[in-house]
Structure 1
Amino acid sequence: MHTHYISWWNLENLFDEKDAPLSRRPDDLKRKIQADLKNWTPEVLSRKITQLASVINQMNNGLGPDILGVCEVENAHVLNLLINSLQSGRNYGIIHHDMGDKRGIDVAFIYDQNRYTFNSNEFFHHTVVKRYPTREIVQATVVSQATGNEIILVGNHWPSRSAGQYESEPYRIITGETLSYFIERIQEVKGNDAAIVVMGDFNDEPFNRSLTDYAQSVMDRDKVVYGRNPYLYNLMWPLLGQRKASYVYSGSPMMIDQFMVGKGIAKKSGKYVLEESSVKLEIFDGMVSGRYDTPVRFGQEKPNLNGYSDHLPISFMLGEK
């Protein structure tokens, strides 16, 4: 059986160096994030890259992920720094859209170019706007070189709760509705057997309305397979039931980083084998502390050079018959 090791990680403000050339950072963005970049020297950026790479290198029993979705990356330059620091021996490439948001944090995919071919004709993105561009949904199609089958990746970074959970909820609700439209359109064009993998930092948990009522994300696999709506099967419920968390805010553990799959993967009679027991948080030595496995942050204003990110990575294995 052919397998795909798929991961997701919010990299926590992976900014370019403070004095990056203007060709990599427009003047207006430089002004807006100037305070964040106060201590962001080339040496600190290099340390951040080293810490992130040390984790990615350990994934998949030291082989590294086949596909890694990421968010909070400023540009393609820092993504290239990251893949050049990986030691898995893989030929990684990047799929990236420069969103042009207020803080310079994008969604992107890293993929093994010896295993997949990126179909650049099927690359779509939607920017979430709160008076200004703030977060995004990115869709990309990769084709397995071993089988010729497509996997449609949908990366998400939804509006934060910084203004308050309920005050900011309408923005995540409209984003959830937009994601559901993406899934409906994919299935209309590609058919119900399309292999759709949704991943991201949703800033809501699997039981919140933006996901259950609007993105149509459910915990019932049969509902996804036999339902008429474009439901998504949320893979995070078992970890949530074990009180696992990808993020901790003010002492409260939250599973806001999630994987969901469409009907084409959820159905047991199809070409894919969903290995549900493989869904996990990626935790290695030094990455967590505290009661709820609190991620050790790298930070920004006063960087912790022994930190990584304020989120934990998540992974799962997808088989192909």
Structure 2
Amino acid sequence: MHFNKFRLKAAGPLVLMFFLNVLAYSQERSDSLPVRLMFYNTENLFDTVDDTLKEDDAFLPGGLMRWNSARYFKKINSVYKTIIAGGEWYPPAIVGLCEIENRKVLEDLVYRTALSNYGYGIVHEESPDPRGIDVCMIFRKDLVRVVDHRAWIPSEISKDKFHSRSVLYVKCAVLGDTIHLIINHWPSRRGGVLAGEPMREEIAEMVRNAVDSLYCVSGNLLKVIVFGDFNCNADDPVISTLLKSRIPGEQILFNLADHHPAGVFGTYRYMGNWEMLDQVIVSQGLLKSSSGLIADTKNFRIFSPDFLLRNDPKYPGMTTFSTYSGYRYIGGFSDHLPVLLDIGFR
């Protein structure tokens, strides 16, 4: 399949004009523009090749979801469009992604779409998730330099008994400043709210302890962003575990998603109710920075353009324009909305 032909055919004239304008405008970036961070749960971005070590059979041409090359490349195209549009004239510097099957899928996204114009690099680690879906990151190499990256799982659980996504840690240099990124896709609540709760608690404690360790080195200057799909709302007790430092008297982390209470709007809709599963949590050192990178609570938001939404067929209001509705293919983008954070520089 010739991907460029597929991409242009799939885009309508107005959409195509928008993306061409993005391409032109982004070449003229000023250093005064903020560094944009995005997180996006892509909803089962599988390739069409059988991985005998993973439970990916449903997303094969002969599988339950009737996945095929045309649907795969349409999905790749949809993710690329969302990333470009999320940049709003300037493609994001950092994009955390989840529900990506493997590195080859990332390479198709980065090298076989118009994202190739921006020199994105890839950070990817295979996770022990049974279905093979991973947490990963792409980044603008003209703005971001990756210093180190690792996959984390709770030390209390052996790797052969950990059946979920690992947490991706990435240490970066951005515009001469150092920032630590911790990207998450916590165990799902499939089977009820309490399903996966013990594992989420283990991961929350692991991430909190890692942040405490970083704080012991950098103190109030620590700049860290913990973000991703936590599979729970911002007011869930397990998020409180993550936010509560074990260092006496210190409140290191602040959840920007607190300003987006579930029920009003969110990143995921279930049975007519919006939930705020995708969150961005930052260190006080990033919020109160006197030099270098700086974040502001008002610069976090849900990215919800019309093309990512559709009328909910069962409940009043809008819902996400997902790729599948149950087992039925509807050809949309994802069952989650992305979140954005603009990071300034002083």
Q: Give deviations 1:111-157, integer Å, cap 9, x for gaps.
A: 001111111xx32222366944212211101112xx32111110001
State the aligned residue count: 300
Structure 2: how far apart are the matches of 1:273 and 1:189?
A: 19
Among 326, 333, 339, the residue aligned to 1:308: 333
Q: What are the Cα deviations for residues 184-213 of structure 1, in whole angstroms up to 9, with x where unaligned?
A: 12222344312101110001111110001x
Candidates 17, 36, 56, aligned match of 1:33: 56
Structure 2 counterparts to residues 146-185 of structure 1, below 5 A: 147-185=175-213
The residue that corresponds to 2:5 in the other structure is none
Q: Identity of counterpart residues, as a percentage?
A: 26
Q: Partners in 2 of 1:163 and 1:83 — Cα distance?
A: 35
Residue ranges of structure 2 left out of the alignment (5+ in a row):
1-31
Distance 1:110 1:28 in 2: 25
- How far apart are residue 3 of structure 1 and its match? 2.3
Q: Where does structure 1 differ by over 4 angstroms across 4 or more consecutive aligned residues?
A: none
Match of 1:65 in 2: 92
The one-letter code of the counterpart of 2:254 is: Y
* 1:192-207 → structure 2 map (5 Å cutoff): 192-207=220-235
Check 1:293–1:235 CA distance in 2 against 1; reply closer, same or farther (3 A cut): farther
Q: Which residue type is aligned with residue 195 of structure 1?
A: K
Please, what TM-score do these two structures have when normalized by structure 2? 0.80
Q: Give the Cα–Cα distance (whole angstroms) in 1 for the partners of residues 329 and 162 of structure 2.
A: 28
What's the secondary structure of 1:142's corresponding residue? strand
In 2, Cα distance between equivalents of 1:97 and 1:45:
21
Q: Name which of structure 1's ranges 284-293 and 194-203 shifts more when overlaid on structure 2.
A: 284-293
Return the TM-score normalized by structure 1: 0.86
* Residue 138 of structure 1: aligned partner: 168
Moved more, 202-211 or 262-271: 262-271
1:7-18 superposed matches below 5 A: 7-17=38-48
1:49 and 1:85 in contact (8 A); partners too: no
- Name the residue aligned to 1:83: 110
Task: Compute the displacement of 1:292 (Å).
Answer: 5.2
Within-5 A mapping of 1:40-51: 40-51=67-78
Give the distance between the partners of 2:224 and 2:162, measured in 1 at CA.
29
Does structure 1 residue 259 correspond to structure 2 residue 280? yes
Q: Structure 1: how far apart are the matches of 2:229 and 2:317?
A: 18
Corresponding residue number in structure 2 for 1:221: none
Q: Could you tell which deviates more after superposition, 171-180 or 187-196?
A: 187-196
The answer to whether the 8 Å contact 2:268/2:276 transfers is yes
Secondary structure class of the residue paired with 1:236: helix
Counterparts of 2:111 and 2:305 in 1: how far apart (Å)?
21
Pair 1:66–1:242, CA change in 2 (3 A): farther
Which structure would you say has the larger Rg?
Answer: 2
For the 8 Å contact 1:184–1:230, the answer to whether it is kept is: no
